[in-house]
Amino acid sequence: MLGTLDRDRYRVIPIGITRDGAFVLEDDDPGKFGLDPAHLPEVVDNGTRIVWPDSTRSRELRVRDAAGERSLGDVDVVFPILHGRFGEDGTVQGFLELLDLPYVGAGLLMSAIGMDKHTTKSILKAAGVPVVPWVTVTRSALERDGELWRRRIRSLGLPAFVKPARAGSSVGVSKVDDWADLDAALDVAFAEDGTVLVEQAVVGREVECGVLEGRDGGAPRVSVAGEIVISGRDFYDFDAKYLGADGIELVCPAELGDGELAEMQRIAARAFEAVGGQGLARVDFFYTGTEFFVNEVNTMPGFTPISMFPKCWIASGMSYDDLLTELIELARAR
Ligand SMILES: Nc1ncnc2c1ncn2[C@@H]1O[C@H](COP(=O)(O)OP(=O)(O)O)[C@@H](O)[C@H]1O
Ligand SMILES: [Mg+2]
């Protein structure tokens, strides 16, 4: 993404966050954070520190290093290209709200909703969006009333998926084909989060579409559908998502009839609005061939040029550049 932002139009100040939570000034080097399976990129502490505006009256970003402190100029828009906890769960969004800096994407609440599978599904269900039946259980409830919860879980039937409420990237997700494996799967999920969902497994296709907030109060815009075609793997796991493991293909546009696509797009727009309707989202579905179920709403979907969200927009006639510009302009307009 860094490589494609139009430099005639935008001046980019790349900021990295270290594991310890330090905001550091990065070099404007698009190659540096490429996803290389053999060597996943990491932000290292280079000794610089970003100094955020000292009140909402200022938009001036500064950097401090061994040589002292200097201005980086005024910020128009922050583009939080972050995944997971502290990145797309509303925390960074709340921080930017306090600074009164415009930012791309969902606000605090929508981000927090999208991060939590139980909350997302509850809201979607209440809005009439079809979701797969599930049971949510906390570690403490399971410890107090193990038999009751196991009974509730077993009533979902096999196979089932067990997943942490807040994780992502398929971390902590397992498929259970035999109830004898349930406890092990719960342990794996509880290692990521104290709240876990168990869900009926859907036999069907995994299809997704991109949604963009409407311009000037207009309806959300929905892209054509993409499909994750899985062959020879149990499901869309971490290795397949990020490490280019075999057996997964992202196909866009997905093979769907016009009626099927229209139905999916209608549900995607409804899901997007139900959780807050801001910025962008990738709405992920399971499609049984007769029914669409929304699996999740990703408020900061993967954004490399080969990721599904941009791919779906490109297939819908919007270039990667135009998409970035649109997101930035939506943030500025808000
Ligand atoms: N109910 C389900 N039925 C079938 N497959 C599922 C189900 N839940 C999850 N999966 C599989 O596991 C993958 C990861 O689960 P998901 O809920 O999307 O979590 P994450 O937030 O980690 O992406 C999905 O892409 C899909 O391949
Ligand atoms: Mg997913």
> What domains are there in the chain, each with its CATH number?
134-200 (3.30.1490.20), 203-333 (3.30.470.20)
The pLDDT value recorded for residue 35 is: 67
Rounded Cα–Cα distance for residues 327 and 320 (Å): 11
Contacts of 86 (CB under 8 A, 6+ apart): 21, 92
The pLDDT value recorded for residue 230 is: 87
The pLDDT value recorded for residue 2 is: 77
For the question of whether the overall pTM of this predicted structure is more than 0.85, the answer is yes
Closest to 165 (Cα-Cα) out of 116, 212, 223, 214:
116
Q: Which tokens is 181 given?
A: 């494996």
Rounded Cα–Cα distance for residues 181 and 143 (Å): 17
Q: How many CB atoms lie within 10 A of CB 191?
A: 12
Ligand 1: which atom is nearest the Cα of residue 298?
21
The pLDDT value recorded for residue 304 is: 83
The pLDDT value recorded for residue 118 is: 98
Nearest CA to ligand 1 atom 11: 235
Q: Which tokens is 98 given?
A: 């306090």
CA of 232 to the centre of ligand 1 (A): 16
Give the residue, out of 153, 173, 287, with the most ligand 1 atoms within 8 A of its beta carbon, to mutate for a pocket test: 173
Rounded Cα–Cα distance for residues 318 and 145 (Å): 52
Q: What H or E segment, with its residue span, contains residue 264?
A: helix 258-274
Is the CB–ligand 1 distance for residue 311 below 6 Å? Answer: no
Rounded Cα–Cα distance for residues 205 and 19 (Å): 36
For every one of its 334 residues, what pLDDT tens digit does the chain have, with 9 covering 90 and above?
777 888 889 999 999 999 999 999 998 887 777 767 677 788 999 999 999 999 999 999 999 999 999 999 999 999 999 887 888 899 999 999 999 999 999 999 999 999 999 999 999 999 999 999 999 999 999 999 999 999 999 999 999 999 999 987 889 999 999 999 999 999 999 999 999 999 999 999 999 999 999 999 899 999 999 999 988 888 888 888 777 778 889 999 999 999 999 999 999 999 999 999 999 999 999 999 999 999 999 999 988 878 999 999 999 999 999 999 999 999 999 8
Rounded Cα–Cα distance for residues 230 and 228 (Å): 6
The pLDDT value recorded for residue 278 is: 97
Q: Which residues of 273-284 are buried (b: 16+ CB within 10 A; e: fewer)?
A: bbbbbbbbbbbb
Is the CB–ligand 1 distance for residue 298 below 6 Å? Answer: no
Q: Which ligand places an atom closest to the C-alpha of 170?
A: 1
